[in-house]
Amino acid sequence: MATATAEPPLVVVGDARGLGRHARTDAVVRLGTGLLLWAGLLLITYWWDADGGINDLARPATGLLSIGRLTGLWSAHLLLVQVLLMSRLPALENAFGRNRLVAIHRIVGLTSFYLMVAHIVTIVGGYASARWSLVLPTTWQLVTEYGGMLLATAGTVALIMVVVTSIKAARRRLRYESWHLIHLYGYLGAGLALPHQLWTGQEFLRSRGATLYWWSLWGAAGLAVIIWRLILPIWRSVRFDLRVAAVITESADTVSVLLSGRRLDRLPVQPGQFLIVRFLSGAGWTRANPFSISAAADGQSLRITARAVGDGSARLAGLRPGVRVAFEGPYGRLSPRARTVRPVLLAGAGIGVTPLRALAEGLEYAAGEATLLYRYTGEPLFAAEFDRLAGARGLKILALPGARSGSGGVLGPVAAGHDELQVLRHWLPELVESDVYICGPQPWASGLERLVAAAGVPADRIHTEAFGW
């Protein structure tokens, strides 16, 4: 007779057959997105030229205005692309993942902003016939007499606020919630700044194709935000009716929260993904925080595990069973979807081990094919669960304890005084043939990324998610 066990069965959800299929689809989506971005820029440059853009450059009087038109068009285009990129469109989320989307968001956003500044300077300069004395009266006239310009001015102020508060030095001084709230003004900025181009810009009005193109892009960006950032999260929160089922203490500063819900087997969640959750009780219910799924979902419940670092994460310890949870997601590409080959290294530091715990359970692998590299100080999280996975599934474990050193090494005291690249190669001879999943604080994750890249792991097999912003 089989002995009953109090431990729940392990859940394997990732299917290692057809490895790389999703990775190929995602690569095509990334390529397509890049091509569309450049094709859009080329198309609007063509319309600008067809409207006399290059000819106008020949004379100083019209040259400034012409440059102003082009920079305005490029800026508007990138701003709309920016809105689309951050709309949580599933195809883009899957293809790029959060880390890459955030990096692209910064580049596209800043480029769009600098082009907007160039647009304002050159348009005002052009209308003022490049005379300093006329700059102020011309600006006043432009703002007050041209259609949509008052709105555009308000939008510009909102966008300036977003960019200024995103500069590292300013960002560090703000609470995340304040920064995030201001950042949402970017939508207001885009919404207010663009209509003046649609109403008065000659490139929009002269060609029917151009008018259609701009209105479609503007509509698509707006619709994507409404559907995927508003309607879908609300609908999923209502439909799945997530509630706190239990709060489990993992260590002095870390708790796991078990969530139950209705028909959770229908929630398309993969191990390694994260949810942005709002616990609807008491003060702080408006605050949303991202937390990774820390166990493979079994269709009945979900588990998140959080270290208390501030108000939002600290309140998890005091949650009562039954508290409703509004959520966005699941998001993230640190999942079986990204996998391309069978050997796999799961590398985590500190609380960054949470998504890797779920992957260690949910990924399909044979004994010895998966290794967990876990860098931690103090007590390791999920020690018993990892031991169980080692016993039942053949997960290899490289535990790297010890306080953070000032030397900048990523492997910790165990490798102190040694060449970390050699140490890693010695520990993991199969590394170069593996997919590498990395999660942890940004500096550590970047350091390990560089190390595994130096060991010869190609970039498309390194999948990173950092817990910073």
Residues that bind ligand FAD (CB under 6 A): 98, 175-176, 274, 288-292, 304-307, 309-314, 351, 354, 465, 467-469
H-run or E-run covering 238: helix 232-240
In the complex, minimum distance from the CB of residue 179 to ligand FAD, in angstroms, rounded to a whole number: 9
Select 272 or 412, whichever has its Cβ closest to ligand FAD: 272
Select 71 or 292, whichever has its Cβ closest to ligand FAD: 292
In the complex, minimum distance from the CB of residue 155 to ligand FAD, in angstroms, rounded to a whole number: 25
In the complex, minimum distance from the CB of residue 447 to ligand FAD, in angstroms, rounded to a whole number: 18
In the complex, minimum distance from the CB of residue 305 to ligand FAD, in angstroms, rounded to a whole number: 6
Select 73 or 363, whichever has its Cβ closest to ligand FAD: 363
Q: Could you tell me which residues are beta bridge partners of residue 277?
A: 289, 327
Select 77 or 337, whichever has its Cβ closest to ligand FAD: 337
Select 13 or 351, whichever has its Cβ closest to ligand FAD: 351
d(CA 176, CA 468): 11
d(CA 202, CA 78): 19
In the complex, minimum distance from the CB of residue 389 to ligand FAD, in angstroms, rounded to a whole number: 18
Is-cis flag, bond preceding 380, omega within 30?
no
Which residue is associated with the tokens 């160039």? 118
In the complex, minimum distance from the CB of residue 461 to ligand FAD, in angstroms, rounded to a whole number: 20
In the complex, minimum distance from the CB of residue 22 to ligand FAD, in angstroms, rounded to a whole number: 19
In the complex, minimum distance from the CB of residue 351 to ligand FAD, in angstroms, rounded to a whole number: 4
Q: How many CA atoms lie within 13 A of 132 on its CB side?
A: 0
Long-range own/partner contacts, residues 440-444 (CB < 8 A, 24 or more apart)? 440/347, 440/348, 440/349, 440/350, 440/352, 440/353, 440/375, 440/466, 440/467, 441/349, 441/350, 441/352, 441/466, 441/467, 441/468, 442/466, 442/467, 442/468, 444/349, 444/350, 444/352, 444/375, 444/410
Q: Are strands 274-279 and 289-292 parallel, antiparallel or unpaired?
A: antiparallel
Select 206 or 404, whichever has its Cβ closest to ligand FAD: 404
Furthest-apart CA atoms within the chain: distance in Å? 95
Phi, psi dihedral angles at 325 (to 5 degrees): -130, 120
Contact 66, 57 (CB under 8 A): yes
Long-range own/partner contacts, residues 415-420 (CB < 8 A, 24 or more apart)? 420/451
| Angle formed at CA 77 by CA 87 and CA 177, multiple of 5 degrees | 40
Contact 400, 421 (CB under 8 A): no
Residue number, nearest CB to ligand FAD: 310
Which residue is associated with the tokens 């305005």? 72
Which pair of tokens denotes residue 440?
Answer: 């942890």
In the complex, minimum distance from the CB of residue 273 to ligand FAD, in angstroms, rounded to a whole number: 9
Select 98 or 375, whichever has its Cβ closest to ligand FAD: 98
In the complex, minimum distance from the CB of residue 400 to ligand FAD, in angstroms, rounded to a whole number: 19
d(CA 255, CA 101): 29
Select 219 or 468, whichever has its Cβ closest to ligand FAD: 468
Select 310 or 321, whichever has its Cβ closest to ligand FAD: 310
Select 72 or 350, whichever has its Cβ closest to ligand FAD: 350
d(CA 66, CA 280): 53
